[in-house]
Chain A
Amino acid sequence: MDRSTFLHNHLSMYLENREIVERPSFRRYSWVSSPAQQVWQERLNRIRFALFHMEVHAVSRGMMPVALLSFNGEELSRLSSLCLQNQVAFVLAHERGRQHFDGCAAVGSFRNLQNYETAVRNADIHSVADLLGYPDCCYQFIKHVTECYALDDLTLPSYYNSLQMDTPDALNPEKYLLTSHSEINFFWRALGLSLTPMFPCSLNCCSAQAYAIKLLEIGREIGYHAEIAWLTEALRWSLSWTALHGTAELKLPIIKVIYSTDFSTEKVQIELPGSSFPDEGAYGINFPFKQAPRKALSETKAVQNAIVHLSQST
């Protein structure tokens, strides 16, 4: 079986049960607790700002001709002053798949931005991908799944493409151990946090990882040590992702995010056991939350007694 058949097989039920439903996009979230919010809301904002700065800096240093940055209303002014400081230009842009944000800006030199706009106008996706610095494998993959499946959300194809064929992975496609390449963990894109400009072709793409590592180096050079430490830690946390009836739900140890995804009546669930768990992460009875050391209720004598009594009655 070749890779694309493998991918197609995994996606088939989801695609067969797809429906065309017109709705505006949405994204909403809930924190697991106020302490988690107090610590991590500020950190996530700082990481986002650091990522803006890192990408703008990367463009000004020629790591890629253009960067595409999604922003929410209040972030726009910070983004424009960053561009000014780094002597790069920016224009407002539109891009599929980034609809959970208020807007999107392309950042680069005047000439590169002009080339970018021309490429977008001509629907020349190869040049667009080149300008944004997509590795070829990721570009080919995105092109393939967009052309074949017309999915708006690439989470699922990228995820299935991460599974190794002919290994236990393929037999249990709902679970993936996040042991390496965590820098390109694309599930955090739902929160606007990503070290690559595109959905990587898989969770183990080396080219995408090389890109992410280069960006991290730039971040360290410009002094975002704390932000990078938080981000790289967060990218290694366990997470679960499910999608049903057009809503994706991402659960992380500190926050739950729901957002619009392709509408299918076939439920998909994915678990990524990670290698780290934050101090502020919640105790809970389901993955990805921390299990209490003992089951605080069902292991009590009173409840055991109840079960015995109830099982014997009626």
Chain B
Amino acid sequence: MPTELRPLGVTCNIQCHYCYQNAQREAGNMGGNYDISKMLQTVDQVGMEFTLFGGEPLLLPLEDLERIWAWGKERFGKNSVQTNGTLITKEHIDLFKKYNVTVGISIDGDGELNDVRWCGNLEKTRTATSKTMSNIELLCESGIYPGIIVTLHRFNASKSRLPRLLLWLECLDELELKSCRVHLLEVETPMQRQLLALTADENIQSLLELYRLERELHHLKFDIFQEMRALLLGLDNKTTCIWNACDPMTTRAVQGVEGDGTMSNCGRVNKDGVDFSKASEQGYERYIGLYYASQEKNGCNGCRFFLMCKGQCPGTAIDNDWRNRSEQCSIWMRLFEEIESDLITQGYNPLSQHAVRAILERYLVQEWTKGANPNLLRLFLHSSATSYEREVMHAYLVENNISHKWSQGKLAHLDHHWEGE
């Protein structure tokens, strides 16, 4: 996961009504002063590629963008940026090409589907949406195929609007875009819930439709379904943060670098509007808690998808309390069921249905209590597995065509590639 470079803090040119950074804006903690040298020094120390992030990073003057990307290309060979796409100009596209910049664009559809990404008044909002759409086309013409992030809400995925969203996604597929990340709305305020949130059933319906649509598309993939499939088979080494027991005090997947060069956490866990510093150690208290707490009490005890889901992103936790499981639980559970059933039909025997699940769960919780958070693949190689447990693991790997090697009576290697990938 790349570092998020946030020179302008949460400063943005538009006002998305659901943005998870709004708590920080509301508290007046916008940020906005930056020192490029300090920021790049921190990125250098972290040693990971970075994404230029905001707020809206294209509010930066071109010369500052060029300075940052020239350094990024030199240091990592490539760059990336996450933008709302409204401000892209010909000059930006030249920089994207020159400095090997991968572009991510957040947009929820065309026309009225994107009204929640508000620009002051309706006219400006619709103009900005058209601008983003034409910029996507312009990028494609220039050979840059942006990744898209779409958030589902009442304005693009309610029963009446979903067909239009699907059509729009088909258009993106025709443009040969490859990747679309689907986000469920993260509800932080009663106002957001009332105005924007879909019901759990509506969310499920929308996701199932997207899952169905994906099979008809030629280029565009919704990475969420790929990930859930891989997770159900225990092949989780390429999955994103939401499935990987994210510690809200350190958010390993998001290493934010603020304008003054200090490190910060993923904004999704920032419910107080305070940009807390990273804790010095990682910890998995949330996940141990969820493993033991009953589902009735906002935990995950007994859920057969716990190994894959782990209570999901702490930024979406029930009542905005990171110790609870995700309030999107019922949606993910339904989707796991759907994908699990498809896998079974295709002849797989997913983790959620296999005796190996209990063994891996026990080892995972054990590792969390020691302060480690191994991925599922590594748990198969757990050094304390008994011979019975190894047999069960072996049976699982064979049944699912996961190639593996044994050495001296122990599993020594697993291949994370599988034929369904």
Q: Which residues of A contact B141 (CB under 8 A)?
A: none
Which of A21, A297, A310 is within 8 Å of B195, CB to CB? A310
Pair A23/B294 contact, Cβ less than 8 Å: no
B20-48 interface code vs A (CB 8 A; 1 in, 0 out): 00110111111000000000000000000
Cα–Cα, bound, A282→B26 (Å): 13
Which of B196, B276, B299 is within 8 Å of A32, CB to CB? B276
| In the complex, B369 has a CB within 8 A of chain A | yes
Q: Which residues of A contact B115 (CB under 8 A)?
A: 309-310, 313
Cα–Cα, bound, A211→B262 (Å): 42
| In the complex, A234 has a CB within 8 A of chain B | no
Output the nearest chain B residue to A257 by Cβ-Cβ distance.
B279
Pair B276/A28 contact, Cβ less than 8 Å: no
| In the complex, A67 has a CB within 8 A of chain B | no
| In the complex, A260 has a CB within 8 A of chain B | yes
Q: Which residues of B contact A33 (CB under 8 A)?
A: 274-275, 277
Pair A295/B26 contact, Cβ less than 8 Å: yes
Cα–Cα, bound, A303→B262 (Å): 30
Which of B23, B120, B281, B292 is within 8 Å of A19, CB to CB? B292
Pair B17/A282 contact, Cβ less than 8 Å: no
Cα–Cα, bound, A297→B155 (Å): 21
Tally chain B residues at the interface, Cβ within 8 Å: 57
Pair A310/B196 contact, Cβ less than 8 Å: yes
Pair B273/A309 contact, Cβ less than 8 Å: no
Cα–Cα, bound, A87→B257 (Å): 50
Which of A17, A32, A244 is within 8 Å of B323, CB to CB? A244
Q: Which residues of A contact B289 (CB under 8 A)?
A: 244-247, 263
Which of A28, A292, A303 is within 8 Å of B279, CB to CB? A28
Pair A286/B271 contact, Cβ less than 8 Å: yes
Pair A265/B294 contact, Cβ less than 8 Å: yes
Pair B15/A286 contact, Cβ less than 8 Å: no
Most chain B beta-carbon neighbours within 10 Å: one of A260, A300, A314: A314
Closest Cβ of chain B: how far from A204's Cβ, in Å?
29
| In the complex, A29 has a CB within 8 A of chain B | yes
Interface residues of A in 27-46 (CB under 8 A from B): 28-34, 37
Tally chain A residues at the interface, Cβ within 8 Å: 51
Q: Which residues of B contact A142 (CB under 8 A)?
A: none
Interface residues of A in 102-148 (CB under 8 A from B): none
Q: Which residues of B contact A296 (CB under 8 A)?
A: 25-28, 30
| In the complex, A289 has a CB within 8 A of chain B | yes
Output the nearest chain A residue to B365 by Cβ-Cβ distance.
A23
Pair B273/A289 contact, Cβ less than 8 Å: yes
Pair A34/B249 contact, Cβ less than 8 Å: no
| In the complex, B288 has a CB within 8 A of chain A | yes
Cα–Cα, bound, A289→B195 (Å): 27
Q: Which residues of B contact A256 (CB under 8 A)?
A: 276
| In the complex, A307 has a CB within 8 A of chain B | yes
Q: Which residues of A contact B290 (CB under 8 A)?
A: 245
Cα–Cα, bound, A17→B296 (Å): 11
Given A285-B272, A302-B120, A31-B277 contact (CB < 8 Å): yes
| In the complex, B154 has a CB within 8 A of chain A | yes
Most chain A beta-carbon neighbours within 10 Å: one of B158, B293, B321: B293
Cα–Cα, bound, A297→B30 (Å): 10
Q: Which residues of A contact B249 (CB under 8 A)?
A: 28, 30, 258
Q: Which residues of B contact A19 (CB under 8 A)?
A: 292-293
Which of A265, A286, A314 is within 8 Å of B299, CB to CB? A265
| In the complex, A306 has a CB within 8 A of chain B | yes
Pair A258/B285 contact, Cβ less than 8 Å: yes
| In the complex, B62 has a CB within 8 A of chain A | no
Q: Which residues of B contact A242 (CB under 8 A)?
A: 321
Which of A37, A285, A314 is within 8 Å of B154, CB to CB? A314
Q: Which residues of A contact B321 (CB under 8 A)?
A: 242, 244, 267
B293-314 interface code vs A (CB 8 A; 1 in, 0 out): 1100111000000000000000
The 7 closest A-B pairs by CB, nearest first: A245-B289, A265-B297, A292-B28, A30-B276, A306-B118, A284-B272, A285-B273
Q: Which residues of B contact A (CB under 8 A)?
A: 15, 17, 22-23, 25-30, 112, 115-116, 118-122, 154-155, 158, 160-161, 191, 195-196, 249, 260, 262, 265, 271-281, 283, 285-286, 288-290, 292-294, 297-299, 321, 323-324, 369
Pairs A–B under 8 Å by Cβ, sample size 24: A26-B283, A26-B285, A29-B279, A30-B276, A32-B274, A33-B275, A244-B323, A245-B285, A245-B290, A256-B276, A258-B249, A265-B299, A266-B297, A283-B27, A295-B26, A297-B15, A297-B22, A297-B25, A302-B121, A306-B15, A309-B122, A310-B196, A313-B115, A313-B155
